[in-house]
């Protein structure tokens, strides 16, 4: 035969691009629908949330240790990459058999819908974002592929041409549908094919689809901002004057070592750890918390009840159980709230109860020993943080703060329910994921200055850091240089036993590489253990060291 074959045109990049654009359209439309009818059921957020809930403790711990407070961003980026790859594959598959690629989209949409419907407090329309998004995505995929050179529209034209001259030389009719080269194979001479669809029309369609997805995404963003009345209400709030103010901080709570962490952690620099991919938007005017379970009297109080109550202010250092030795998952703030013991005194727990299971609006739960909520420590149902209403990420409108316990067993943000119960009857979120059911804070100390691997001039060097043992207080800190003796550090003033305590140490540094190690003694006289223990299941132990080079 004399036919000059056209160079085989590669269509997979266009097909892959079609898949990715269809996925972007799906997500953007789903986002828009979510803002309108089911804010917590946007597929990325719902699937990501379900993923977080299903994450084994070791992986969660790894994520926190590796990415810290960026772990959620990393998860979202990871999901984005996975979806993009799946979408590209779906595009290429759909190019050959539409239902193959369509099936990928359908499966992804089903996963999104299932996740949306099974999140805590999922609304009636929780499946809508993923379903509508998936449908629109399928249409976009079909449309894009039809415009792909060598695609459906072109093949139709080619098929029409084919009727006239040409069966193949062997008389075989070329089946257009799934053959990349249907058009060229069908032609006996090289002729421009694809009058119905050129690279240009495909690109135009792709651009239009991208613009549509971007518009839907932007629309969702704008709409959600317009409906974020919660943040506006939060900003307009004026906190009431406390019935009991926190004592003024002693003048010497800071060690004065340059570069050390501040004694009071500013709200925007406060560590954030939670399982919430999207920050719950809780309307304070409809918020309430219910105290029930093993109580003589059920109680429900509103935000206004809290504003009207005798609130107390208290300095408390919050610490995460996932904090590694020397880590920074700890922060110190002035909290304003109602002592939980006052609520419980009204509810009157019945005999045998030993735990309060607090539940967040997003389903997170914590198991706090009843005793820690009824003794005289300032366990608070908090509404204020450093003279501001709680920031949304830190639990607005109301969270728990319990001195002496790690956050995972006590510090429930966006709290809506307190059930008085027994450890033998109920389990908390992390208890089901390999962590302990109780979490008293272990004595910890860290060197903040100098930093690890710092290079320093010889001579007097200011060493400084922080130590904490909430509820017990810190009574001594010691520093060791290399293998030498423990030497006493100077303690900064103590605010109270529930806050961390700064310390400083003047080191006469000599040239060479040195290791500085710190340890603390708590108010019971117990010296911080050197035994290195991992964070799982109930908090790390071990001494913090830094290596420095003195020149
Ligand atoms: N609703 C909710 N509250 C939560 C969590 C959570 O995942 N969800 N995490 C807890 C953990 S593990 C810690 S350490 C503290 C952290 O509080 P912060 O983010 O305000 O620092 O919140 C606690 N409260
Ligand atoms: Mo935590």
Ligand 1 atom closest to Cα of residue 273: 19
Give the residue from 442, 444, 437 showing the smallest Cα distance to 410: 437
Please state, in angstroms and rounded to a whole number, the distance separating the CA atoms of residues 453 and 515: 10
Look at the chain and count its residues.
Answer: 551
Condensed to tens digits (0 to 9), the pLDDT of residues 421-459 reads: 999 999 999 998 889 999 999 999 999 999 999 999 999
CA-closest candidate to residue 366, choices 415, 333, 299:
415
CATH topology of domain 444-550: Immunoglobulin-like (2.60.40)
Question: Higher model confidence: residue 115 or residue 195?
Answer: 115
Angstrom distance (rounded) from CA 110 to CA 10:
32
Indicate the CATH number for domain 267-433: 3.90.420.10
- Which protein residue's CA is at the shortest distance from atom 7 of ligand 1? 274
Cα–Cα distances in Å, from 295 out to 19, 230, 305, 419? 56, 32, 20, 9
d(CA 100, CA 102): 5
Predicted local distance difference test score (pLDDT) of residue 62: 81
Alpha-carbon gap, residue 83 to 207, rounded angstroms? 20
CA distance 3 to 181: 14
Q: How confident is the model at residue 119 (pLDDT cuts 50, 70, 90)?
A: confident
Q: With a cut of 90, say whether residue 181 has pLDDT above it.
A: no
What is the whole-number distance in angstroms between the Cα of residue 69 and the centre of ligand 2? Answer: 11
Q: What CA–CA distance (Å, rounded) separates 128 from 502?
A: 52
pLDDT tens per residue, range 231-275: 889 999 999 999 999 999 999 999 999 999 999 999 999 999 999
Q: Which helix (H) or strand (E) holds 307?
A: helix 303-308
Percent of the chain's residues with pLDDT above 90: 73
Q: Which of the residue ranges 18-27, 144-153, 343-352 would you say has the lowest mean pLDDT?
A: 144-153
Nearest Cα residue to atom 5 of ligand 1: 274
Distances from the Cα of 426 to the Cαs of 67, 159, 367, 372, 429, in angstroms?
A: 31, 67, 8, 17, 10
> What integer pLDDT is reported at residue 55 of this predicted model?
81
pLDDT tens digits, 21-38: 999 999 999 999 998 888
pTM of the model: 0.82
The residue among 136, 141, 140 whose CA lies nearest residue 91 is: 141
Which of 279, 412, 413 to probe ligand 1 with, by most ligand atoms within 8 A of CB? 413
Which-ligand-closest: CA of 275? 1
DSSP 8-state code for residue 527: B
Neighbours of 76 (CB within 10 A): 14
pLDDT given for residue 165 in this prediction: 41
Question: Please, which residues have CB within 8 angstroms of residue 258's CB and are 6 or more apart in sequence?
Answer: 449, 462
- Average pLDDT of the segment spanning 401-429: 98
Residues within 6 Å of ligand 1 by CB:
270-276, 318, 320, 331, 360, 362, 364, 394, 407-408, 411-414
CB 220 within 8 A of CB 31: yes
Q: State which ligand 1 atom lies nearest to the alpha carbon of 272.
A: 19
The domain ranges of the chain are 12-150+194-227, 267-433, 444-550
CA distances from 159 to 155, 174, 178, 529 (A): 6, 9, 12, 80
Partner residues linked to 465 by β-bridges: 447, 503
Answer for the pair 79, 321: CB distance below 8 angstroms, yes or no: no
Q: Which ligand is nearest to the CA of 331?
A: 1
Q: Which atom of ligand 1 is nearest to the CA of 271?
A: 21
Owner of token pair 């400083």: 504
At residue 153, does pLDDT exceed 70? Answer: no
Mean pLDDT, residues 358-373 = 97
Specify the residue for token string 């193959």.
Answer: 100
Distance, in Å, from the CA atom of 310 to the CA atom of 338, rounded to the nearest integer, reads: 7
Long-range contacts of 165-168 (CB under 8 A, 24+ apart): none
* Residue 17 contacts residue 206 (beta carbons within 8 Å): yes
Q: What is the number of the ligand 1 atom nearest to the C-alpha of 319?
A: 14
Residue closest via CA to ligand 1's atom 15 equals 407
Burial of 170 (0-12, 13-18, 19+ CB in 10 A): exposed
């Amino acid at each position: 035969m004399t036919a000059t074959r056209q160079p085989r045109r590669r269509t997979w990049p266009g097909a892959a691009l079609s898949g990715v654009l269809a996925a972007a359209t799906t997500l953007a439309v789903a986002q828009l629908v979510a803002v309108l009818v089911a804010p917590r059921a946007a597929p990325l957020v719902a699937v990501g949330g379900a993923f977080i809930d299903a994450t084994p403790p070791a992986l969660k711990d790894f994520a926190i240790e590796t990415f810290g407070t960026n772990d959620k961003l990393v998860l979202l980026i990871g999901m984005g990459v996975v979806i993009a790859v799946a979408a590209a594959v779906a595009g290429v598959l759909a190019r050959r058999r539409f239902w193959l690629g369509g099936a990928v989209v359908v499966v992804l949409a089903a996963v999104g819908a299932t996740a949306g419907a099974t999140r805590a407090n999922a609304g009636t329309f929780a499946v809508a974002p993923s379903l509508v998004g998936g449908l629109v995505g399928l249409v976009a995929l079909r449309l894009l592929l039809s415009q792909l050179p060598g695609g459906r529209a072109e093949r139709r034209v080619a098929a029409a041409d084919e009727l006239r001259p040409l069966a193949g030389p062997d008389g075989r009719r070329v089946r257009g549908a799934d053959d990349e080269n249907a058009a060229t194979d069908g032609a006996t001479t090289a002729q421009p094919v694809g009058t119905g669809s050129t690279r240009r029309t495909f690109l135009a369609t792709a651009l239009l689809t991208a613009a549509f997805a971007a518009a839907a995404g932007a629309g969702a963003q704008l709409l959600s901002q317009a409906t974020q009345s919660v943040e506006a209400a939060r900003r307009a709030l004026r906190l009431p004057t406390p019935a009991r103010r926190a004592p003024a901080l002693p003048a010497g709570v800071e060690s004065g070592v340059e570069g050390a962490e501040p004694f009071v952690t500013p709200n925007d620099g406060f560590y954030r750890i939670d399982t919430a991919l999207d920050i719950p938007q809780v309307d304070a005017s409809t918020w309430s918390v219910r105290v029930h379970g093993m109580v003589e009297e059920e109680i429900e109080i509103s935000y206004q009840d809290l504003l009207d109550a005798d609130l107390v202010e208290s300095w408390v250092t919050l610490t995460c159980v996932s904090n590694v030795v020397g880590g920074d998952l700890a922060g110190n703030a002035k909290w304003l709230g109602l002592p939980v013991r006052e609520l419980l005194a009204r509810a009157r727990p019945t005999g045998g109860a030993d735990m309060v299971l607090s539940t967040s609006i997003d389903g997170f739960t914590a198991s706090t020993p009843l005793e820690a909520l009824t003794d005289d420590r300032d366990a608070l149902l908090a509404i204020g943080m450093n003279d501001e209403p709680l920031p949304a990420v830190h639990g607005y409108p109301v969270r728990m703060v319990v001195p002496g316990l790690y956050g995972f067993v006590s510090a429930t943000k966006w709290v809506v329910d307190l059930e008085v119960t027994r450890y033998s009857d109920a389990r908390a979120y992390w208890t089901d994921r390999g962590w302990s059911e109780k979490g008293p804070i272990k004595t910890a100390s860290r060197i903040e200055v100098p930093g690890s691997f710092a290079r320093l001039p010889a001579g007097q060097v200011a060493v400084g850091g922080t130590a904490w043992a909430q509820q017990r207080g810190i009574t001594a800190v010691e520093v060791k240089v290399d293998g030498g003796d423990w030497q006493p550090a100077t303690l900064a003033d103590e605010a109270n036993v529930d806050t961390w305590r700064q310390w400083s140490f003047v080191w006469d540094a000599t040239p060479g590489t040195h290791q500085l190690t710190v340890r603390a003694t708590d108010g019971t006289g117990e010296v911080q253990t050197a035994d290195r223990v991992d964070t799982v299941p109930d908090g790390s132990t071990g001494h913090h060291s830094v290596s420095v080079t003195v020149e």
